[in-house]
């Protein structure tokens, strides 16, 4: 197989005939006006970085950003709409990840071959100059958990590390402190305008439909994600997800991970006949799942991916295992909250797409099914154009009750019905439409005595939260308040 071209330019979700500037123009710095588009956290970070280097900087945003009060002096601002005239006179455009680079307002800039890049592109340029290795992590699900875990592994190995990107700290702010390695979580939006990242280790943890409203279809989404492999030095592959495997040279240093038993020198799970589960490298048993604080089979797979990434980054195995035994995971990511009304309550509010919710259902279902317990699952919110039919099988395998909430409740129910999960389904799963999260939780308390096998209440909506909440964090916080005993 041939290696990905380092000069491959971003691909429009709408048409492969649309083109962005070439790689050489994208990474050129220029000496003139730097226009930052979008003043969120990463936009402000880019402004501060460029201003400190002495560039003339301007900012445009479609809204009236709250962070404007934190801008340095002498910054030109155009708020209330994206300013096409300003974009057309830029020497380089730094676009925030939430803004689509194929909006018509950028047509003039593309026609003039003005570089349109992400803050990650700027970070890469500096990292290359300072010889800072980059560990680059993306995927439809689990990337925040794995990024945080790998960052802890690097830190505990005695390496000065910066952890950020799409998670927490904007990438350019990591350069404010001396670091020896960077661990970056990268979204498809950031990768869409990043070229030739040249990471020391890169991985696409998994692929499932997400952000199709932005990328147009799975092909556009896949192409954006796989830009992470441009110029890569080594890769980690999910051997159970073919869409995660890139086209790279046969001699590329590669490690794989998965929930099945591993081949020699690869990472996987060994499952004994007595139900014991071990994290393993080849035939070597590394850690019993009982000693891993993050629960569910999907989280064991996350741990395996982190071990593979760490190995390729040169981290000592014993140090990584020690870190893993002390890692409790991230908030709102299949987080155990409490046991109430005989239900173990899990907050997976970060589950904003189908793949993430499937992982949560399977991960918990495979743990509770041997105990004779089933799940009550809360789904709903803003569906982002997804088809929810894929959820039908894992729900039929492991759920007893499904609650629908939010804006796309009816669509989710219709999609599941198209896949055989309707009111008359053979599994006897009860489907209940609730307007709000509070109604769903209250209904779960009422349903538990009716279904003795019901042992888990899982909030994993497979949807964005903006129809009823400010974000997944608030949704998770509300859920936690509702389930905790008063």
Annotated binding-site residues read 139-145
Measured in degrees and rounded to the nearest 5, phi and psi for residue 254 equal -140, 135
Residue 319's CB is within 10 A of a number of other CB atoms, namely: 16
Q: Which domain holds residue 438?
A: 335-483
Q: What does the alpha-carbon distance between residue 271 and residue 254 come to, in Å, rounded to a whole number? A: 24
pLDDT at residue 122, rounded to an integer: 97
Q: Is 462 helix (H, G, I), strand (E, B) or coil?
A: coil
Counted residue by residue, the chain has a size of 486
Instruction: Write out the two tokens for 221.
Output: 């989404």
Q: Which strands make up the sheet holding 161-165, listed edge to edge?
A: 161-165, 181-185, 134-138, 201-204, 235-238, 254-257, 267-271, 277-281, 284-288
Question: Is the same domain home to 309 and 445?
Answer: no
Question: Is the same domain home to 310 and 351?
Answer: no
Question: Is the same domain home to 202 and 76?
Answer: no
Annotated binding-site residues for ATP read 139-145
Output helix, strand, coil percentages for the chain, rounded to the nearest 5: 40, 20, 40
Count CA within 13 A, CB hemisphere, residue 485: 7
pLDDT at residue 142, rounded to an integer: 87
Q: What is the domain-level CATH number for residue 86? A: 3.40.50.720
Question: Is the same domain home to 217 and 84?
Answer: no
Q: 268 in a domain, yes or no?
A: yes
Q: What does the alpha-carbon distance between residue 454 and residue 345 come to, in Å, rounded to a whole number? A: 11
| Residue that the structure tokens 């404010």 belong to | 176
Q: 24 in a domain, yes or no?
A: no
Q: Which residues contact 450 (CB under 8 A, 6 or more apart)?
A: none
Question: Is the same domain home to 413 and 312?
Answer: no
Q: Which strands make up the sheet holding 92-95, listed edge to edge?
A: 76-79, 57-61, 34-37, 92-95, 115-117
| Residue that the structure tokens 């009982």 belong to | 290
Q: 453 in a domain, yes or no?
A: yes
Q: 22 in a domain, yes or no?
A: no
Q: 9 in a domain, yes or no?
A: no
Mean pLDDT by 10 residues, the chain (486 residues): 33 35 39 93 97 96 96 95 96 95 94 96 97 96 93 98 95 97 95 96 88 72 92 97 90 97 97 90 96 90 98 98 94 91 95 92 89 95 95 98 98 98 95 97 97 97 97 97 90
Question: Is the same domain home to 106 and 166?
Answer: no
pTM attached to this predicted model: 0.79
pLDDT at residue 210, rounded to an integer: 67
Domain closes at, from 281, 300, 326: 326
Which H/E stretch holds residue 202?
strand 201-204
Q: 3 in a domain, yes or no?
A: no
pLDDT at residue 1, rounded to an integer: 33
Q: Given its phi and psi angles, is residue 253 left (phi above 0), alpha (psi -120 to 50 degrees) or beta?
A: beta
Residue pair 8/194 in contact (Cβ under 8 Å)? The answer is no
Q: How many domains does the chain have?
A: 3
Q: What is the domain-level CATH number for residue 126? A: 3.40.1190.10
Domain closes at, from 97, 117, 137: 117
Instruction: Write out the two tokens for 126.
Output: 């500096």
Q: What does the alpha-carbon distance between residue 146 and residue 472 come to, in Å, rounded to a whole number? A: 19
Question: Is the same domain home to 105 and 159?
Answer: no
Catalytic residue numbers, as ranges: 143, 166, 211
**Exposed, middle or buried, 41 (CB in 10 Å: 0-12/13-18/19+)?**
middle
| Residue that the structure tokens 């030095």 belong to | 233
Q: What is the domain-level CATH number for residue 339? A: 3.90.190.20
* CA trace torsion 302, 307, 311, 314 (10° rounding): 100
Domain closes at, from 302, 326, 350: 326
Question: Is the same domain home to 127 and 184?
Answer: yes
Q: 11 in a domain, yes or no?
A: no
Question: Is the same domain home to 125 and 95?
Answer: no
Q: 48 in a domain, yes or no?
A: yes
Question: Is the same domain home to 280 and 353?
Answer: no
Q: Which residues pair with 335 in a beta bridge?
A: 347
Q: Which residues contact 274 (CB under 8 A, 6 or more apart)?
A: none
Question: Is the same domain home to 292 and 261?
Answer: yes
Q: Which residues contact 473 (CB under 8 A, 6 or more apart)?
A: 331, 332, 349
Question: Is the same domain home to 291 and 275?
Answer: yes
């Amino acid at each position: 197989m041939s290696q990905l071209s380092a000069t491959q330019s971003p691909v429009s979700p709408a048409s492969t005939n649309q083109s962005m500037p070439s790689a050489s123009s994208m990474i050129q710095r220029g000496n003139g006006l730097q226009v930052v588009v979008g003043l969120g956290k990463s936009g402000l970070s880019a402004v501060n970085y460029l201003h400190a280097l002495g560039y003339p900087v301007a900012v445009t945003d479609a809204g009236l950003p709250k962070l404007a009060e934190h801008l340095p002096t002498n910054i030109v601002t155009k708020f209330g709409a994206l300013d096409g005239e300003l974009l057309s006179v830029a020497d380089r455009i730094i676009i925030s990840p939430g803004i689509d680079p194929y909006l018509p307002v950028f047509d003039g800039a593309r026609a003039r071959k003005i570089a349109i890049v992400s803050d990650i592109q700027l970070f890469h340029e500096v990292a290359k100059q300072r010889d800072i290795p980059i560990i680059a992590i993306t995927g439809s699900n689990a990337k925040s958990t794995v990024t945080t875990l790998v960052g802890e592994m690097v830190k505990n190995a005695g390496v000065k590390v910066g952890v950020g990107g799409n998670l927490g700290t904007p990438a350019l702010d990591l350069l404010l402190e001396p670091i020896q390695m960077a661990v970056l979580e990268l979204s498809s939006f950031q990768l869409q305008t990043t070229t030739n990242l040249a990471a020391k280790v890169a991985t696409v943890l998994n692929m499932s439909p997400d952000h199709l409203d932005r990328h147009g279809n799975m092909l556009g989404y896949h192409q954006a994600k796989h830009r992470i492999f441009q110029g890569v030095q080594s890769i980690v592959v999910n051997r159970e997800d073919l869409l995660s495997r890139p086209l790279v040279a046969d001699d590329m240093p590669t490690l794989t991970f998965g929930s099945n038993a591993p081949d020699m020198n690869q990472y996987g799970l060994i499952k004994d006949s007595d139900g014991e589960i071990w994290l393993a490298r080849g035939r070597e048993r590394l850690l019993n799942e009982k000693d891993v604080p993050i629960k569910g089979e999907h989280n064991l797979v996350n741990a395996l991916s982190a071990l593979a990434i760490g190995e390729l980054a040169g981290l000592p195995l014993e140090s990584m295992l020690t870190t893993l035994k002390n890692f409790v995971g991230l908030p709102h990511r299949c987080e155990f909250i409490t046991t109430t009304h005989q239900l173990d309550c899990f907050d997976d509010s970060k589950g904003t797409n189908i793949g993430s919710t499937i992982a949560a259902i399977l991960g918990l279902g495979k743990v509770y099914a041997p105990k004779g317990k089933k799940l009550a699952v809360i789904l709903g919110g803003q569906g982002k154009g997804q088809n929810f039919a894929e959820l039908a099988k894992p729900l039929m395998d492991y759920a007893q009750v499904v609650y629908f909430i939010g804006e796309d409740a009816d669509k989710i129910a219709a999609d599941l019905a198209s896949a055989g999960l309707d009111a008359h389904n053979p599994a006897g799963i009860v489907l209940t439409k609730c307007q709000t999260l509070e109604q769903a939780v209250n209904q779960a308390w009422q349903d538990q005595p009716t279904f003795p096998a019901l042992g888990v209440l899982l909030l994993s909506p497979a949807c964005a939260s903006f129809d009823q909440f400010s974000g997944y964090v608030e949704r998770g916080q509300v859920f936690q308040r509702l389930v905790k005993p008063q």
